[in-house]
Amino acid sequence: GSSGSSGDHKRMFGTYFRVGFYGSRFGDLDEQEFVYKEPAITKLPEISHRLEGFYGQCFGAEFVEVIKDSTPVDKTKLDPNKAYIQITFVEPYFDEYEMKDRVTYFEKNFNLRRFMYTTPFTLEGRPRGELHEQHRRNTVLTTMHAFPYIKTRIRVSQKEEFVLTPIEVAIEDMKKKTLQLAVATHQEPPDAKMLQMVLQGSVGATVNQGPLEVAQVFLAEIPADPKLYRHHNKLRLCFKEFIMRCGEAVEKNRRLITAEQREYQQELKKNYNKLRDSLRPMIERKIP
């Protein structure tokens, strides 16, 4: 029956991890990276535990160490007697034009050769900072073959890194928020809980480092450097679409709610209006 099919679906598609091996104990594997395909609901601790156990049996448990973060490994800081395994959750990566072509769930799980993970950093060395200091490194890996494949791990043949400046991080985050709103608004059948969760994260008054703060940090003033105009305008347009999607979502929620949620809806609408009015001067001002 149809109820079983989505379960099979989930089993068929996977969760992907990047696994890097460091240390001379690994022989040919030293400094090699692989993408592992695991069953769909695998969590990082599960694969860590399994690989640690497996290589622990090969080399002795006391010689195997799992590196938990995704920061680039500095070989000089490693104990030469140990075998290190770095494990990072990765997601299939598609270019924007590819995204348009790969519409279905199925197409997003076949012929996969590129994967991405992101690492937050600040120039001072802390991973996380204030909005204006928050950089991000996007690492895109290309595997030698495409998944699904006869083996469940494939060697990485190419690695590209893209560093995003704080305003580019903001652009990426606002695009993601906007997409979540659009998806939740147009979901069939409608899912009120999901919609309200996304709305809460977008127009909720208490959202920490929420959209308004992002706009105040990056859009309150026109940048002094003309080289930054392009990003400034891009973010401005992201906010235009974002606030439009918020409006759609609030309206959709109004049609979905039950009578006892009317007060909640009024609160949402009030917050939305306030956010829209606060954003308006920043998003309507074009750079001459």
Q: Determine the average pLDDT of the residues in 220-234.
A: 91
Q: Is 226 in the same domain as 131?
A: no
Q: Is 144 in the same domain as 20?
A: yes
Q: Is 128 in the same domain as 50?
A: yes
Query: What share of the chain in percent tops pLDDT 90?
Result: 70
Q: Determine the average pLDDT of the residues in 49-78.
A: 93
Strand partners, 156: 143
The domain of 29 spans 2-164
pLDDT at residue number 10: 47
| pLDDT over threshold 80, residue 42 | yes
pLDDT at residue number 161: 94
Start-to-end CA span in the chain (Å): 61
**Among candidate residues 164, 187, 212, the one where a domain is terminated:** 164
Which pLDDT band, with edges at 50, 70 and 90, does 285 fall under?
confident
Element (H, E) at 95: none
Q: Residue 98 corresponds to which tokens in the numbers above?
A: 């590819």
Q: Is 123 in the same domain as 175?
A: no
Which pLDDT band, with edges at 50, 70 and 90, does 104 fall under?
low
Q: Is 137 in the same domain as 194?
A: no
pLDDT at residue number 99: 62
pLDDT at residue number 29: 94
Strands 64-67 and 83-92, sheet pairing: parallel
pLDDT at residue number 187: 87
| pLDDT over threshold 70, residue 206 | no
pLDDT at residue number 6: 43
**Among candidate residues 164, 179, 197, the one where a domain is terminated:** 164
CA–CA dist 17, 1 (Å, integer): 32
Q: Is 139 in the same domain as 14?
A: yes
**Among candidate residues 164, 192, 221, the one where a domain is terminated:** 164
Q: What is the pTM of this model?
A: 0.80
Closest residue by Cα to residue 246 from 186, 191, 185, 190: 185
Higher pLDDT, 168 or 127: 168
Q: Is 28 in the same domain as 79?
A: yes
| Burial of 7: CB neighbours in 10 Å, binned 0-12, 13-18, 19+ | exposed
Which pLDDT band, with edges at 50, 70 and 90, does 286 fall under?
confident
What tens digit of pLDDT does each residue of 242-280 get? 999 999 999 999 999 988 999 999 999 999 999 999 999
DSSP code at position 214: H
Q: Determine the average pLDDT of the residues in 34-57.
A: 94
| pLDDT over threshold 90, residue 4 | no
pLDDT at residue number 3: 41
| pLDDT over threshold 80, residue 215 | yes
| pLDDT over threshold 60, residue 156 | yes
- Per-chain mean pLDDT for the chain: 89
- Residue 106: how many CA atoms within 13 Å on its side-chain side? 2
How many domains is the chain partitioned into structurally? Answer: 2
pLDDT at residue number 185: 93
pLDDT at residue number 205: 64
